[in-house]
């Protein structure tokens, strides 16, 4: 990994205002020259976005939303947050297509609409793709990735603001990670599929049970520009450990 290395912290539906104190060490680390390449982006729950933005205001750590509505502006959508609102708060990123939302019924078509809306509001996208265990067993991984990429990016012009997060669904929260060889094959496949959509070399990240032990092998996977980290990112110590072991 030579250029920017992304460390995405997805806090899911966890965290309270008292969680902010644990971030001081990470802020200090992010200012060290040694970690210049580390692009750290936090995705707290909506309730904490404002606090996180203030907390990181004197650092290079960015903040994003874990999802957004497909309608880019204001509208009568109770309980929803639009790209305009995320932008207004100071978010630079949004995660779209996360399997935890796909499982709740979010279709490729809706994800495509969300991607277009968020890009229109100048948000950068972490676009999540990945196969379920059933699809992996049926050897359908590549066809699933093709479908998710083709449908998700249909008609999307400014792809340079998209980062791809390859997250095998069976790996998220399970403690399991793919075998290195299989992961490299899938990353190569994603690269090929993306190259048919855009001339830009979009960063491809890996997500799924990344921790401070398995990072020593994951960091050697060819073609990966960083990691999307769920549960391990909720502990500042574990998250810092992952960054330190990746850039040493």
Residue in 201, 205, 189, 200 with CA at minimum distance from that of residue 144: 189
Q: Is 172 in the site for ligand PEP (CB under 6 A)?
A: yes
Q: Is 167 in the site for ligand PEP (CB under 6 A)?
A: yes
Count other C-beta atoms under 10 Å from residue 217's C-beta: 12
Does 109 qualify as catalytic in the annotation? Answer: no
Q: Which is closer to ligand PEP, CB of 10 or CB of 67?
A: 10
Q: Is 236 in the site for ligand PEP (CB under 6 A)?
A: no
Q: Is 97 in the site for ligand PEP (CB under 6 A)?
A: no
- Report DSSP letters for 57-84, one per residue: TTSS-EEEES---SS-S--S-TT---HH
Residue nearest to ligand PEP (CB): 230
- What is the rounded distance in angstroms from the CA atom of residue 248 to the CA atom of residue 34? 8
- Encoded one letter per residue, x for contact with ligand PEP by CB under 6 A and - for no contact, window 1-30 reads ---------x-x------------------
Q: In the bound complex, what is the minimum distance in angstroms from residue 46's beta carbon to ligand PEP?
A: 16
Q: Is 230 in the site for ligand PEP (CB under 6 A)?
A: yes
Q: Is 229 in the site for ligand PEP (CB under 6 A)?
A: yes
Q: Is 228 in the site for ligand PEP (CB under 6 A)?
A: yes
Residue in 22, 12, 14, 64 with CA at minimum distance from that of residue 41: 64
Q: Which tokens is 39 given?
A: 């692009």
Of 55-63, 84-92, 119-127, 223-231, the window that binds ligand PEP (rule: CB under 6 A) is 223-231
Q: Is 231 in the site for ligand PEP (CB under 6 A)?
A: yes
Does 71 qualify as catalytic in the annotation? Answer: no
Q: Which is closer to ligand PEP, CB of 84 or CB of 163?
A: 163
Q: In the bound complex, what is the minimum distance in angstroms from residue 167's beta carbon to ligand PEP?
A: 5
Q: Is 173 in the site for ligand PEP (CB under 6 A)?
A: yes
Contact at 8 Å (CB) between 10 and 95?
yes
The residue ranges that bind ligand PEP (CB under 6 A) are 10, 12, 167, 172-173, 207-210, 228-232
Positions annotated as catalytic residues are 98, 167
């Amino acid at each position: 990994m030579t250029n920017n290395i992304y460390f995405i912290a997805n806090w899911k539906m966890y965290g309270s205002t008292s969680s902010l104190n644990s971030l001081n060490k990470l802020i200090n680390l992010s200012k060290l020259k040694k970690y210049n390449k580390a692009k750290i982006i936090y995705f707290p729950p909506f309730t904490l976005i404002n606090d996180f933005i203030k907390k990181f205001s004197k650092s290079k750590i960015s903040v994003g939303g874990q999802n957004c509505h497909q309608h880019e502006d204001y509208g009568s959508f109770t309980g929803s947050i639009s790209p305009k609102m995320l932008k207004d708060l100071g978010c630079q990123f949004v995660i779209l297509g996360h399997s935890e939302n796909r499982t709740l019924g979010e279709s490729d078509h809706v994800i495509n609409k969300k991607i277009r809306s968020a890009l229109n509001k100048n948000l950068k996208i972490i676009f999540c793709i990945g196969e379920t265990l059933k699809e992996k067993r049926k050897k359908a991984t590549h066809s699933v990735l093709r479908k998710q990429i083709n449908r998700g990016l249909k008609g999307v012009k400014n792809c340079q603001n998209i980062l791809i997060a390859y997250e095998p669904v069976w790996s998220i929260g399970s403690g399991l990670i793919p075998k290195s060889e299989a992961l490299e094959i899938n990353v190569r496949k994603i690269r090929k599929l993306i190259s048919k959509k855009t001339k830009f070399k979009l960063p491809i990240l890996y997500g799924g049970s990344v921790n401070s032990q398995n990072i020593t092998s994951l960091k050697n996977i060819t073609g990966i520009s960083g990691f999307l980290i769920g549960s391990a990112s909720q502990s500042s110590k574990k998250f810092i450990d992952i960054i330190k072991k990746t850039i040493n």
